[in-house]
C-alpha cells in the first residue's frame, strides 16, 4: 500500500474510490481520445515499477525521462516513484551533451524516452560513455534493435514476473522527507541544477491549492497538460494539485496545437505562461480591430462593461452585484468570445513562470476571465503565492499559499520559508548552502515589497539590475511590462548597464500585426521583418514608448532609443527557455552590435 500523503497514495486512493473514473487522456490521430482510468493508472505504474526493478533500479536511484506530454510519461513518472526511485525529467530541446550533463549529475542508469529523435540522443550518451546510462526504454515501438534498448511494453512484461510483495515493501519504506522528483532549472544562466522535491513539499502544495481553491476538488475538474512536464509549473497542475481533485487531464503534445485542444476539451482549470496569454490576446485584438461600425462599438461597450464589474468585485473583496448591463454584455459578446476560445467552462485561470502585464490581465478580465497570477520558482516546488479567488489585485503576485511565509530582506530581496521549499540541489551541496540563509529562509533573487494585506509585489531581479553610468540601479522588469503593453509588441528587453541612458530592443508579435496596422495606420504589414523596417511603424512605437512607458516612470528609468528587431525570439533561436522566458544574457550577446549602435560614441565613452 502506498504511503498516505504521497502522489502514489493519492493515485491508489482514487483507484480504490473511483476505479472506472477517467483520468488521463491521449489524443489519437483521428481526433478521438484514448482514456486511462484511475485503476488503470495505478495498475500500469506498478507494472513499470516492477519492470525497473528487474533492470536493477534501487531505492534512491534516479531514472531519466524525456518526451512530449502524454499518458505514458505520467505512468512512467509514478512507476519510477513506486520503485522508490527518483524521476529526473529532461527537456526535449536539449542537445546530447546537455542531456549527458544531467544524466551524469543524476547518475541515472536507466532512461525512458518517447520518439526516435530522443532515442538517438540517448544512444549517443550511452555509446560514447558520456554518462553512466545502461538501459533506454522507449514509450513507443520504434523498431530499435540496439543493445540495451527495449519498449515500455516489454519492460512491463518483465515486471510481471516480480512478486507484488517486493514492490509493496518498497512502497511501505517511503518517507515523506524522501526525494520524490528532480526538476532541473532551465538555466537562463549557468548549468542546470537538480532541485530536490520531497513528498512532503509536494503534499504541501497540493493541500494548499485545495484550501485556496476548494471548488477544484471535483471529478469534473478538467485540465490540459501542455507545458513541459520537466517544469515545476506543469507538475504543479498535472500532479501536485491535479491529484487532489480526482479529475481529468488531457495531454497536448505540441504547444502549437493548444488552441485546438482548448476548443475540444473546454477545461475548467487552465495554466498558461504569460507568452501564451499574450498570444491569445494579440489574436483576439486583431480580430476585434477588424470589427467596424455598430459591431465594433458593441464589442468595446461589452468589454468595458465586464471590466468595470470585475474591478468593482475585486475592490469589494470578491463580492459585487451583477447588473442588467452586464447580463446583456455577457449574452451578446463576452460569452461568445469565451466559447470560441474553449474557455466557457473555465473556473480558474492561472498565469505563472514569469511576470504578466497589467494590460493583459485587464484585457482578459474584460472578456470574463480573471487570471490569477501565481508566483514561485523551481525551488519552491512550483507555487509559493497566488491571487486569492475573487480578490485579484493587478500588479501583485497575490498572497502566500498556506504553509509558506515571506519577508523582505534589508536589500529588498524576497525571502521565503515553508515545507514546500526544496531539500536542495542534487549532488551540489555548495549550491544548496547558497540557497538558504542561516535561519532557513530561501533567497529568491527577486526584489519586491509586501503590503499590509500580505499581497506581494515584485519589482525586479537582483541579477537583472542595470547600473547606469550615473550610478542608478534600475530593475528593467517594470519598463519591459509597459513596453509589452504597446499594440504590436511581443517582447521587449531593456538594456543600459554602464551606459548613460536606457534603450530597448523591441520584438514584434506576428499575431498582433493586424492590430498594429490599425493602431499605427500603416497597411500591408505582412511580416514582422517588413513591419520592423517600416519607418512609420518605428515612429508609432517611439511615440507609444513616450506615452505608455516614459510617462509612467522616473526620469532615470525612461527609454531614450529603441531598435525594432526583424526576427522573433524563439526556443530554437536560443533567446527563450522552454517555458518562453527571455534569456537576457543570450539576447545581449546575440544583439551586441545592435545594442552598441544605440549608444555610439556615448556608449564607448561610458565604458572607458
3-state secondary structure 377-431: EHHHCEEEEECCCCCCCCCCCCEECCCEEEEECCCCEEEEEECCCCCCECCCHHH
Mean pLDDT of 556-584: 91
Say if residues 531 and 508 touch (Cβ distance below 8 Å): yes
Cα-to-chain-centroid distance, residue 265:
20
pLDDT at 103 over 60: yes
Among 281, 341, 332, residue whose Cα is nearest residue 302: 332
pLDDT of residue 505: 98
Mean pLDDT of 409-430: 96
pLDDT at 495 over 90: yes
The phi, psi pair for 224, rounded to 5°, reads -115, 125
**Tens of pLDDT, residues 327-379:** 999 999 999 999 999 999 999 999 988 888 889 999 999 999 999 999 999 99
Q: Per-residue confidence at 433, pLDDT binned at 50, 70, 90?
A: very high
pLDDT of residue 605: 39
Mean pLDDT of 434-453: 94
Q: Which residue ranges form the domains of the chain, and what is each CATH number?
A: 1-21+38-174 (3.40.50.980), 200-463 (3.40.50.12780), 466-607 (3.30.300.30)
The C-alpha atoms of residue 71 and residue 249 are separated, in whole angstroms, by 9
The C-alpha atoms of residue 191 and residue 461 are separated, in whole angstroms, by 19
Q: Per-residue confidence at 321, pLDDT binned at 50, 70, 90?
A: confident
Alpha helices (runs of H) in 451-525, residue ranges in sequence order: 477-483, 513-520
The C-alpha atoms of residue 108 and residue 590 are separated, in whole angstroms, by 34
The C-alpha atoms of residue 313 and residue 6 are separated, in whole angstroms, by 37
Q: Regarding predicted confidence, which is higher, 537 or 608? A: 537
pLDDT of residue 467: 84
Say if residues 66 and 89 touch (Cβ distance below 8 Å): yes
Confirm whether pTM is higher than 0.95: no
Question: What residues form DSSP beta bridges with 112?
Answer: 65, 137
Q: Take residue 200 and report the three cell numbers written for it.
A: 512532503
Q: Take residue 17 and report the three cell numbers written for it.
A: 474510490
Q: Is 505 exposed, middle or buried (0-12, 13-18, 19+ CB in 10 A)?
A: buried
Amino acid at each position: 500500500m502506498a504511503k498516505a500523503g504521497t502522489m502514489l497514495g493519492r493515485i491508489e486512493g482514487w483507484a480504490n474510490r473511483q476505479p472506472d473514473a477517467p483520468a488521463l487522456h491521449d489524443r489519437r490521430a483521428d481526433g478521438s481520445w484514448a482514456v486511462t482510468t484511475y485503476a488503470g493508472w495505478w495498475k500500469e505504474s506498478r507494472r513499470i515499477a516492477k519492470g525497473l526493478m528487474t533492470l536493477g533500479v534501487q531505492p534512491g536511484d534516479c531514472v531519466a525521462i524525456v518526451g512530449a506530454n502524454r499518458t505514458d510519461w505520467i505512468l512512467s513518472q509514478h512507476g519510477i516513484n513506486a520503485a522508490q526511485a527518483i524521476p529526473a525529467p529532461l527537456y526535449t530541446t536539449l542537445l546530447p551533451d546537455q542531456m549527458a550533463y544531467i544524466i551524469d549529475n543524476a547518475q541515472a542508469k536507466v532512461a525512458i524516452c518517447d520518439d526516435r529523435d530522443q532515442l538517438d540522443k540517448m544512444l549517443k550518451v550511452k555509446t560514447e560513455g558520456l554518462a553512466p546510462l545502461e538501459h533506454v526504454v522507449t514509450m513507443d515501438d520504434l523498431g530499435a534493435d540496439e543493445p540495451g534498448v527495449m519498449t515500455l511494453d516489454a519492460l512491463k512484461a518483465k515486471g510481471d514476473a516480480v512478486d507484488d510483495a517486493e514492490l509493496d515493501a518498497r512502497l511501505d519504506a517511503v518517507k515523506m522527507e524522501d526525494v520524490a522528483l528532480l526538476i532541473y532549472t532551465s538555466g537562463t544562466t549557468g548549468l542546470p541544477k537538480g532541485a530536490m522535491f520531497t513528498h512532503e513539499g509536494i503534499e504541501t502544495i497540493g493541500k494548499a491549492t485545495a484550501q485556496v481553491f476548494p471548488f477544484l476538488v471535483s471529478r469534473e475538474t478538467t485540465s490540459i497538460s501542455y507545458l513541459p512536464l520537466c517544469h515545476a509549473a506543469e507538475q504543479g497542475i498535472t500532479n501536485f494539485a491535479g491529484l487532489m481533485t480526482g479529475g481529468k487531464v488531457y495531454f497536448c503534445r505540441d504547444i502549437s496545437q493548444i488552441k485546438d485542444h482548448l476548443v475540444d476539451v473546454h477545461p475548467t482549470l487552465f495554466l498558461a505562461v504569460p507568452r501564451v496569454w499574450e498570444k491569445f490576446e494579440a489574436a483576439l485584438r486583431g480580430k476585434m480591430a477588424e470589427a467596424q461600425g455598430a459591431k465594433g462599438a458593441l464589442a468595446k461597450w461589452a468589454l468595458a462593461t465586464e471590466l468595470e464589474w470585475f474591478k468593482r468585485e475585486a475592490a469589494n473583496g470578491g463580492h459585487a452585484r451583477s447588473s442588467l448591463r452586464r447580463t446583456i454584455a455577457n449574452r451578446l459578446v463576452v460569452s461568445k468570445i469565451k466559447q470560441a476560445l474553449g474557455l466557457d467552462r473555465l473556473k480558474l485561470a492561472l498565469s505563472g513562470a514569469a511576470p504578466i502585464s497589467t494590460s493583459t490581465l485587464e484585457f482578459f478580465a474584460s472578456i470574463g476571465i480573471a487570471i490569477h497570477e501565481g508566483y514561485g520558482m523551481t525551488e519552491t516546488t512550483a507555487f509559493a503565492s497566488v491571487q486569492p479567488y475573487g480578490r485579484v489585485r493587478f500588479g501583485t503576485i497575490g498572497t502566500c499559499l498556506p504553509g509558506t511565509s515571506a519577508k523582505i530582506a534589508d536589500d529588498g530581496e524576497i525571502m521565503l520559508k515553508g515545507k514546500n521549499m526544496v531539500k536542495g540541489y542534487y549532488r551540489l551541496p555548495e549550491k544548496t548552502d547558497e540557497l538558504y540563509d542561516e535561519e532557513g529562509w530561501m533567497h529568491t533573487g527577486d526584489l519586491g515589497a509586501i503590503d499590509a494585506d500580505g499581497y506581494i509585489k515584485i519589482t525586479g531581479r537582483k541579477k537583472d539590475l542595470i547600473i547606469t553610468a550615473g550610478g542608478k540601479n534600475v530593475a528593467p522588469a517594470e519598463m519591459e511590462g509597459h513596453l509589452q503593453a504597446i499594440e504590436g509588441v511581443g517582447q521587449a528587453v531593456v538594456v543600459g548597464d554602464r551606459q548613460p541612458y536606457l534603450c530597448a530592443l523591441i520584438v514584434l508579435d506576428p499575431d498582433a500585426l493586424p492590430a498594429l496596422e490599425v493602431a499605427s495606420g500603416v497597411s500591408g504589414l505582412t511580416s514582422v521583418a517588413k513591419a520592423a523596417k517600416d519607418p512609420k511603424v518605428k515612429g508609432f512605437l517611439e511615440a507609444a514608448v513616450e506615452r505608455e512607458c516614459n510617462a509612467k516612470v522616473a526620469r532615470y528609468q525612461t527609454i531614450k532609443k529603441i531598435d525594432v528587431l526583424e526576427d522573433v525570439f524563439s526556443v530554437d533561436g536560443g533567446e527563450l527557455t522552454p517555458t518562453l522566458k527571455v534569456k537576457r544574457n543570450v539576447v545581449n550577446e546575440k544583439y551586441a552590435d545592435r545594442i552598441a549602435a544605440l549608444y555610439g560614441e556615448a556608449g564607448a565613452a561610458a565604458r572607458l
